[in-house]
Amino acid sequence: MSTPVARIDELAVSFATDTGPVRAVDGVSLDVAPGEVLAIVGESGSGKTVTAKTVLGLLPATATASGAVVLSGRDGTETDVVHVSAGELRQVRGRDVAMVFQEPSTALNPVYTVGWQITEGLRAHGRVSAKEARRRAVEVLRTVGIPDPEQRVDHYPHQFSGGQKQRVVIAMALVLNPGLIVADEPTTALDVTVQAEILDLLRSLRDSTGTAIVLITHNMGVVADLADRVAVMFHGKVVEEAPVADLFAAPQAEYTRSLLGAVPRVGEGTARAEARAAARPEGWADADPVVAAEHLTITYPGRFRRPGFTAVDDVSLTIRPGEVLGLVGESGSGKTTIARAVAGLQPVTDGSLRVLGTQMRGARGRALADMRPRLGFVFQDPATSFNPLLTIAECVAEPLVVHGRASSPDAARGRVDELLEAVQLPRSYGDRYPHELSGGQRQRASLARALALEPELLVADEPTSALDVSVQARVLELFAELQDELGFACLFVSHDLAVVDRLADRIAVLYRGRLVEEGTGAEVLGSPREEYTRRLLASLPVPDPVEQARRRAQPTPSAASHASGTNA
Amino acid sequence: MTAPEIAGGPGAAPATPEHLGGRGAWWRRLPVVRQVRQSVGLQRGMLVAGLVLCAVFVVTAVGARWIAPYGWSQLRTPDGTFGAQQPPSAEHWFGTTVGGYDVLSRVVWGAQTALLVVIVAVLASIVVGVLLGLVSGYFGGWADRILVLVADAVYAFPSLLLAILLAIVISGGQSSMWGGVLAAALSITVVFVPQYFRVVRAEVVRIKSEAFVDAARVLGTPHRRIMTRHVLRNSVRTLPLIVTLNASEAILTLAGLGFLGFGIEPTAAAEWGYDLQRAVADVTSGIWWTALFPGLAIVLAAMGMTLVGESLNDLADPRLRVRARNRKVAGSVAATSVATAPAGESSAAADPKEDS
């Protein structure tokens, strides 16, 4: 057990870019012991993915690496991945080290059966008879918990659900029994309930096969759940390396402390919501709601006489003036569809949806003209929600110009500067182009644009899901401040319970287009009535290894429905 | 977009953004100059060769009146006639043609005709193609389907045949200089419009679903404003590349028309294709100079533009662009983090390529 399966020694990597070399990894030294789960955490750009890719020799042609990454195979051979020929590198991959990718739907080739893809690794590393290869594929599929592996081995990737696809990807990594698996954000693309299952699987695989896992992630909950040891990366360097319990209990580095402080936790927002509820004026509940949906149904039309797909099914909810409603659900639950319908981007099929007094069902162009300036929208991906050819000031001025409050972007500059300062961006940033801002800055500018007309209602569709944890914390804080100050009502859509809890007065939980539970944060998160909400809460990993171990020890509520719900 | 330049936080004095002149002399950021600086090795060689050829072509065309020793339809000087099929000499560097014209002058003036046709053809096809593509892609519906069908039909038609047909319709067989130039240019236009239409339409359909167009729709922006301000400018980025490639094709089509006798009369303007056709009989009798020089002019002009187009195309795509590899690990870590700069996320999206 003494020799590490991977030893990274003074690794440095730089990339040739259009503006000269950029260093991504700067003198990283790490050891991975057999059977150990080492988590590498850090925000995007910290070099964690590049470090992981170097271990497999997957760097692009523009990269230059120095230092050493020595892999020890199960048979005791040692290979330095950085200074090895392409042929030897192929030998090492799969046998000594394998990779689990972030997005299972793109990591699998859609035109081959999963069995073929699993056995491809066997064929690449020596002669195996077709029968033997198939036997090994079935065996490894059973190991990763795919039911009926004898039949499923001949199925194509699209016949599996997202979580099962990730299991197949893990099976592909496992088939040659490597000493080390590198998992790059293995659960980021998955829903929380599925994420919990994949984390369970990785843990049991480590225990049964003794393979070491290098886990790349930005999710501190996942780290607390799975890791034995954590390396925190920042600016291409390892700033702290500690066993998981020590790291969470007593972080040494300043950066680690701020990173942990930024992680949202369920239950933080309860006090704030209660204080806000108490401060409401008399008769507030009787005021005209800003959004009133009654039996709202939205269907996407099917093609070629196939039945349409019902994305939102009989949902009724209201948002009163100045209230923040958090809409939570997994992917495909219809939360974004509701947000788009409220903004008039998606036609309503059935039921009634009144937004700011306008009936949205059947409404066209002119009927919406009155409501449009009173509504703001913040999009999920700050990278695409700005016209790349306009400066930030021009983008923010756009609503003012369109609605005749200013004759030109230049004339609106005074107001734009005020707005930028309100979202804590310096005035000079108005002259920059969107690509010159970071994700968090862009999302602030997006907020400034949405608030330009002082709307009564703000629709925010996953505004922080594309951001790093520490950036997310700041944007959420800013959001809460502005909401307190300006008093707009808000529909806040997110897949993350902890994020919603931080801001929302009331939380609505969606499951497959239906509204399963609605209430204040304390009600929904504190004592959930519905089975699904309980499962959602139980699956959410807590960024605290001790608490997470305790939760793991006790059985999750109704493990049976847990499994059936996600395999569908 | 180096990170340190835009890393000035709200607290620190913000560095000048690159579009305000934060990146060296202004001329370095001019479209073509920037690409030349960006390129390395073979790609740079191709681009520079193409640019030189194009520059020679344009200078010759514009300065034809000073460069050419004689007029394009000049047959005599006060000293006497040139004589037909004279070999290269001190008076006629490239010799004379069967009709008694000076080959050098015809080649030089021919560049002017070619440039005019290219400019008119490309401008006309851009205006028509972009307009149709924008409207068709943005609104969709049955009009869109019909336009796509028509564009496909035009594609399927042999382009030279179509050009001949139009040349006859437009000029009615005889031609002055501008009549001939317009006839040739517009017949080329009809062949090119479907290309621009399809490229712009495909881009518009893609851009239409981008979040920033949704953002404009949520604001209640009128369609006209969305189309001009948000969609149009974002969907014409690839056009310069098609333009350079089409320009070379336009020269070849013009030469083809001239060669087949649908071009411009020799008395109205000089035209390479026509000269080449008149030289066909000369080649068998050992008179090489009447065919070689116009032919060479066509090849070099077309090649210059193709080289520029192809290299710009490769340079515009980060995956095809070759970069100088550094032998040692170098450079500094880009400031991509937010945590150590308490004044706000002072860092910027440093380089999306470095972390995937």
What are A309's strand-pairing partners? A300
* Angle at alpha carbon of residue A318, lines to A371 and A423, rounded to 5°: 60
Which of A119-128, A391-400, B70-79, B151-160 has maximum average pLDDT? A391-400
- Give the residue-averaged pLDDT of A213-218: 89
**B6, A436: Cβ pair inside 8 Å?**
yes
Pair of tokens at residue A98: 């394998």
Residue A90 in domain:
yes
Provide the pLDDT for residue B299.
92
In a domain? residue A397: no
Give the pLDDT score at A213.
Answer: 92
What interhelical angle do A413-422 and A439-450 show, nearest 10? Answer: 120
List the beta bridge partners of residue A352.
Answer: A294
In this structure, what DSSP letter does residue A454 have?
-
Indicate whether A137 and A187 sit together in one domain.
no
Do residues A172 and A183 share a domain? no
If you average pLDDT over residues A320-346, what whole number do you get?
A: 88
Q: Do B355 and A19 touch (CB under 8 A)?
A: no
Q: What pLDDT was estimated at residue B39?
A: 79
| Amino acid making up residue B287 | I
Token pair listed for A134: 């198939």
Please tell me the least confidently modeled range out of A178-187, A270-279, A345-354.
A270-279
B212 and A386 in contact by Cβ < 8 A?
yes
> How far apart, in whole angstroms, are the C-alpha atoms of residue B218 and residue A374?
10
- Which pLDDT value is given to residue B29? 67
| Surface-to-core class of residue A315, CB atoms within 10 Å of its CB (0-12 exposed, 13-18 middle, 19+ buried) | buried
Pick from A128, A144, A177: which residue ends a domain? A177
Answer yes or no: do B334 and A468 touch at CB < 8 A: no
- Give residue A214's pLDDT: 92
Contact B183, B254 (CB under 8 A): no
> What is chain A's mean pLDDT, rounded?
85
Question: In this model, does residue B347 exceed pLDDT 70?
Answer: no
Question: How far apart, in whole angstroms, are the C-alpha atoms of residue A380 and residue A383?
Answer: 9
Q: Is residue A462 part of a domain?
A: yes
**Are both A165 and A304 inside the same structural domain?**
no
Question: What are A342-401's pLDDT values in tens digits?
Answer: 988 888 888 889 888 888 888 776 778 888 888 889 988 878 888 888 889 999 999 999
Q: Which pLDDT band holds residue B333 (cuts at 50, 70, 90)? A: low
Per-residue pLDDT, B26: 67
pLDDT of residue B14: 40
- Please check the confidence at residue B349 and state whether its pLDDT lies above 60: no
pLDDT digits (tens, 9 = 90+) for B8-31: 333 333 444 444 444 556 666 677
Q: Which of A126, A143, A177 is the last residue of a domain?
A: A177
Nearest to B349 among A399, A435, A449 (CB): A435
* A31 assigned to some structural domain: yes
Same domain, A243 and A210: yes
Among residues 157-216 of chain B, which lie with CB inside 8 Å of chain A? 210-212, 214-216
- Least confident window among A120-134, B83-97, B125-139: B83-97
B330 touches A at CB < 8 Å: yes
Q: What is the pLDDT of residue B21?
A: 41
* A491 shares a domain with A373: yes
Structural domains counted in chain A: 3
Q: Do B337 and A234 touch (CB under 8 A)?
A: yes
**Phi, psi (5° rounding) for residue A63?**
-95, 150
Cα–Cα distance measured from residue B145 to residue B140, given in angstroms and rounded to the nearest whole number? 7
Same domain as A146, residue A117: yes
Q: For chain A, give the number of residues.
A: 568
What distance in Å separates residue A356's CA from the closest CA in chain B?
14
Q: Do A287 and A360 share a domain, yes or no?
A: yes
**Is there a domain that residue A396 lies in?**
no
pLDDT in tens, B23-76: 556 666 677 777 787 777 788 888 899 999 999 999 999 988 888 888 888 877
* Residues A327 and A185 placed together within one structural domain of the fold: no
| Owning domain of residue A134 | 106-177
Taking the CA of residue A64 and the nearest CA in chain B, the distance in Å comes to 6
* A526 and A548 in a common domain: no
In chain B, the domains with their CATH numbers are: 55-300 (1.10.3720.10)
Q: Is residue A415 part of a domain?
A: no
Conformation bin of residue B306: beta by default, left when phi > 0, alpha when psi is -120 to 50: alpha
| CA–CA separation, B183 and B302 (whole Å) | 20
Please tell me whether residues A354 and A480 are part of one structural domain.
yes
Among B218, B228, B233, B321, the strongest candidate for a mutation testing the A interface, having the largest count of A CBs within 10 A, is B218
- Least confident interval from A333-342, B218-227, B297-306, B338-347: B338-347
Domain presence at residue A217: yes
Same domain for A523 and A378? yes
pLDDT of residue B297: 92
Rounded distance, CA A182 to CA A173, Å?
A: 9
Q: What is the mean pLDDT of residues B280-306?
A: 87
Pair A373, A494 in one domain: yes
End position of a domain, from candidates A136, A152, A177: A177
Contacts of A505 (CB under 8 A, 6+ apart): A273, A276, A277, A323, A324, A325, A520, A521
Residue A312 maps to which CATH number? 3.40.50.300
Chain B residue numbers with beta carbons less than 8 Å from the beta carbon of A470 are 338-339
Computed over every residue of chain B, the mean pLDDT equals 78
Does residue A444 sit within a domain?
no
